[in-house]
Amino acid sequence: MSDGVKLSIVVPCYNEEEVLHETTKELTNILSGLMNASKISKNSKIVFVDDGSKDKTWALISEFSDKYNCVSGVKLSRNFGHQGALLAGVTTASEDSDAVITIDADLQDDVNAIPKMVNEYLQGAEIVYGVRNNRDTDTAFKRGTAEMFYRFMGFLGVKLVPDSADYRLMSQRACKVLLSYKERNLFLRGIVPLVGFKSAKVFYARKERFAGVSKYPLRKMIKFAIDGITSFSIVPIKMIMGLGFFIVLISIVLLIYSLVQKINGNVVEGWSSLMISIWALGGVQLISISVIGEYVGKIFSEVKGRPRFTIERDIYTEKTQQENKR
């Protein structure tokens, strides 16, 4: 069984020309070691997914695919985002692979955890999560906000694997179930646990980025968190109702207080309190409308049913077809 396991490592790339040489070197060494140990098939592949890069990323992928038999690539027609690129790679590779590993190109996720993931797969696990054993490379702000996010998602009833990103192994069967989820608003960290099947965890120390800059600045991280929350729970809308009842309760208390003060002859014209009330209620209303609008916007994007990605060039399939003809 172990000699025939075909493994594909999917690597989403967006303007990663500075790291691709080192990433290719490390991943090919990992694949070679697993092949020599007869744990995976000689036809196992690295699948780089170019997510509409504007630098030399695709040129390097094409060069490496010509140079190394185990390297292939998929070029998307434009930038579809990290989650879309991941899904494109899984869709392409899972068709003829026994297992698929997804990992980012920046080498922050330790590639030495891959053999451990393969071992867990060979022992029967169909989903193996890569989990950080520390967050020493993150800033205090990022560590704190990440912990708050996981706790809040847990409060909303969303099952996530804390401190795991998109570094995981999935069997072909698990990939097929994942691909049966058709939503356009992708939050794979929340969808994968819904797949079920036997799972395992492999712990690793997260490294500093090898080169280049992060493709997830604060703005994108906030958007990613909002997508995760609104894609899996309607609790925020229910919280708006609770907030509305709370404000009504406060207004009733203030009304009673005002009447008592008027009866006692202690009426004071309160311009400040009036303005504070107007601004406070106006802010609450705007926030409430924006939360509802977020959900309406997701419905709008879902009902259009547009493709989640479009492939311009697929070297992986081309290579697979050539190998099958031999």
pLDDT band at 121 (very low <50, low <70, confident <90, very high): very high
pLDDT band at 115 (very low <50, low <70, confident <90, very high): very high
CA angle 177, 126, 230 (to 5 degrees): 50
The average confidence (pLDDT) of the chain is 78
CA–CA separation, 176 and 310 (whole Å): 19
pLDDT band at 2 (very low <50, low <70, confident <90, very high): very low
CA–CA separation, 12 and 101 (whole Å): 11
Half-sphere exposure of 23 (CA within 13 A, CB side): 29
CA–CA separation, 184 and 114 (whole Å): 29
pLDDT band at 1 (very low <50, low <70, confident <90, very high): very low
Tens-place pLDDT, residues 277-316: 776 677 677 777 777 777 777 777 677 677 777 888 888 8
Tens-place pLDDT, residues 154-195: 666 667 777 777 889 999 999 999 888 887 777 777 788 888
| pLDDT value for 148 | 73
Q: What is the arithmetic mean of pLDDT over 138-158? A: 67
**Host H or E run for residue 136:** none
Please state, for a pLDDT cut of 70, what percent of the chain lies above it. 70
pLDDT band at 135 (very low <50, low <70, confident <90, very high): low
- Among residues 171, 40, 57, the alpha carbon closest in space to that of 105 is found at 57
Is the pLDDT higher at 214 or at 139?
Answer: 139
CA–CA separation, 22 and 105 (whole Å): 9
Is the pLDDT higher at 91 or at 254?
Answer: 91
Q: Which of 205-214, 252-261, 279-288, 300-309 has the lowest mean pLDDT?
A: 205-214
| pLDDT value for 279 | 61
Tens-place pLDDT, residues 49-61: 998 888 889 999 9
Cα(first)–Cα(last) distance of the chain, in Å?
22
Q: How far is CA 121 from CA 98, 170, 250, in A?
A: 10, 8, 57
Task: Reply yes or no on whether the pLDDT at 83 is more than 80.
Answer: yes
Largest CA distance in the chain: 98
What is the DSSP-derived secondary structure letter of residue 70? Answer: T
Neighbouring residues of 50: CB distance < 8 A, sequence distance ≥ 6? 13, 14, 57, 58, 61, 73, 74, 75, 76
